[in-house]
Structure formats: structure tokens, C-alpha cells
């Protein structure tokens, strides 16, 4: 009898995927607290169903390629195009067809702690992961767009499995592998979303290392972006070996 269970006990039971008979009994329980917990449970089910539906929708491009016989589809994305310092980092990820980590999404939509967690899970479950870097010197030499393409190509080359299809976030690279240029791909493809997480976390880790070398610039928190603390350090201490000389305000202030 559910009446012998406290509301807190019922709440805990509802978090453990209860069977249908238990739910039927709860519906007959007259206690207001029980009915509130039952409503909350129903809302969670609806949210979970929607989350799964959106996740499956983000596999639509991959499934088209899989059905066409291209089993190895690599999603590609980058992190760090806008900062004043540090490299641009790209990642390529090939996911298994049964990948079911529903929380994988555009890295910009996730908290830092969630990205760290998913980063580890992606490395565990992906069929292959490749990472590519273009440092600030290459960025200054060829521009950020071309440097990003270079990092993406390096990420694909680093894969231990040769992909049969690429899905790239809003860019194209020099390769014989068929590629789909997809706007906002990190929000439309799970493979690209996984790549966005790997690229972002990889770059964040690197910027934390640079923070240990140049602590005045606060790289561990700003990741090289032009925050007030970063700009103050630039004004008082000048540039470091990892700053992008072709980016403003560095170009105007230090290379007039």
C-alpha cells in the first residue's frame, strides 16, 4: 500500500523508474503530496521524451549517410576563432551508430562542468577522435579562416579511422572525402556537437596551461578573449608569445 510510504519515500521511488503497477497505486492515493510528486514525475517523463526526440533528430544527417552505406561519418567543429590569444583548435569525431548520450549538444549550450563530463564520455565511446591546432603564428600568417581550415584538416588526418563522410560546421576543407557544409551544425548534428565539446574542452585545458605561464592575463577564466582584466594586462605588460598580432586592439596598439 502506498499509504504506508511517506511522500519523501515515494519521491525517491519515482526517481528510480517505477513499474506501471506502482504508478496506478499512486493515482489512487488521496494524499496531496503524493499527487504533487506524481505530477512532477509526469512532467519529467514529458521532458525526457522531448529530449530524446531532439537527440534523435540531431542524428538525421548521420542516418542518411549510414543508410547510404557510409558507416563512418565524422563531425568537425572548432573552438577559439575570436580570442586575442592562443590557438584555434578543431576536433573531428566519429560516433557509433548506437551512441545514446542524450546530453551531447552544442558546447555553447552547456556548462563548463557538463562539457568536462561529456568530454570524457565522448572519448570513451567514440569510434575515433582527432584534434588539430593552428597556433597564433599561423593565424597571423594566413588569417583566422584559413588557420581554422588547417586545424580542421589536421583533426581529420588525426582520426584512426578514415571517415567516409564529413559534416562540418559552416566550412569546407581541402580533402577528397565527401563533406557537408552545414550552418549551425553543432546544434543540428550530434557528431558535430560532440566535436564542438572536444574542441572547446581541449582548448580550455590548453589555456589553463598558458595561464600558469602568464598568470597576469587571466587566461584560465577568459580563454584568451578580451576581458577587462586581459586588456589591463596587455596595457601594462604588453603581449605574450601566444598573442595574435593581427587581431585588434593588439595590431593597432603594438604594431602601428
What pLDDT, on the 0 to 100 scale, is given for residue 58?
Answer: 94
Of all residues in the chain, the percent with pLDDT exceeding 70 is: 98
Domain boundary among 30, 57, 84: 57
CA distance linking residue 137 with residue 242, whole number of Å = 8
pLDDT at 251 over 60: yes
User: How many other CB atoms are found less than 10 A from the CB of residue 149?
Assistant: 21
Q: Are residues 93 and 195 in the same domain?
A: yes
- Residue 200 in this model has a pLDDT that exceeds 60: yes
E-strand spans in the chain?
A: 73-79, 88-94, 128-134, 165-169, 179-182
Same domain, 111 and 232: no
My answer on whether 70 and 34 are in the same domain is: no
Query: Would you list which residues are annotated within the binding site for a divalent metal cation?
Result: 77-78, 169
191 part of a folded domain: yes
pLDDT at 2 over 70: no
Clarify whether residues 97 and 219 are in a common domain: no
Same domain, 133 and 47: no
Which domain covers residue 230, as residue numbers? 210-254
Residue 110 burial (CB count, 10 A): 19
Of 56, 166, 65, which Cα lies nearest the Cα of 104?
Answer: 56
Residue 186 C-alpha cell reads as: 553543432
Asked whether residue 96 falls in the same domain as residue 109, the answer is: yes
Which tens digits make up the pLDDT trace of 37-94? 888 888 888 887 888 889 999 999 999 999 999 999 999 999 999 999 999 999 999 9
Residues tagged in the binding site annotation: 77-78, 169
State the Cα–Cα distance between residues 203 and 207, nearest whole angstrom.
Answer: 6
Q: What is the chain's alpha carbon radius of gyration, rounded to the nearest angstrom? A: 23
Mean pLDDT of 186-214: 97
Q: Residue 205 falls within a domain, yes or no?
A: no
Regarding whether 42 and 136 lie in a shared domain, the answer is no
Amino acid at each position: 500500500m502506498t499509504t504506508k510510504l511517506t511522500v519523501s519515500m515515494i519521491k525517491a521511488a519515482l526517481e528510480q523508474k517505477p513499474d506501471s503497477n506502482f504508478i496506478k497505486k499512486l493515482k489512487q492515493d488521496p494524499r496531496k503530496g503524493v499527487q504533487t510528486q506524481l505530477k512532477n514525475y509526469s512532467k519529467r517523463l514529458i521532458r525526457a521524451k522531448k529530449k530524446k526526440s531532439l537527440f534523435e533528430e540531431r542524428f538525421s544527417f548521420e542516418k542518411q549517410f549510414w543508410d547510404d552505406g557510409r558507416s563512418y561519418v565524422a563531425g568537425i567543429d572548432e573552438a577559439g576563432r575570436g580570442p586575442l590569444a592562443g590557438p584555434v583548435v578543431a576536433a573531428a569525431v566519429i560516433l557509433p551508430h548506437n551512441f545514446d548520450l542524450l546530453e551531447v549538444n552544442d558546447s555553447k549550450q552547456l556548462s563548463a562542468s557538463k562539457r568536462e563530463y561529456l568530454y570524457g564520455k565522448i572519448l570513451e565511446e567514440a569510434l575515433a577522435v582527432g584534434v588539430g591546432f593552428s597556433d597564433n603564428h599561423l593565424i597571423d600568417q594566413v588569417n583566422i579562416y584559413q588557420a581554422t581550415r588547417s586545424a580542421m584538416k589536421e583533426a581529420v588526418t588525426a582520426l584512426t579511422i578514415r571517415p567516409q563522410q564529413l559534416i562540418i560546421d559552416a566550412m569546407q576543407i581541402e580533402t577528397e572525402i565527401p563533406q557537408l557544409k552545414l550552418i549551425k551544425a553543432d546544434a543540428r548534428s550530434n557528431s558535430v556537437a560532440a566535436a564542438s565539446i572536444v574542441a572547446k574542452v581541449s582548448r580550455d585545458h590548453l589555456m589553463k596551461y598558458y595561464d600558469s605561464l602568464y598568470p597576469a592575463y587571466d587566461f584560465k577564466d577568459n580563454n584568451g578573449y578580451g576581458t577587462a582584466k586581459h586588456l589591463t594586462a596587455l596595457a601594462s605588460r604588453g603581449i605574450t608569445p601566444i598573442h595574435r598580432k593581427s587581431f585588434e586592439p593588439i595590431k593597432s596598439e603594438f604594431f602601428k
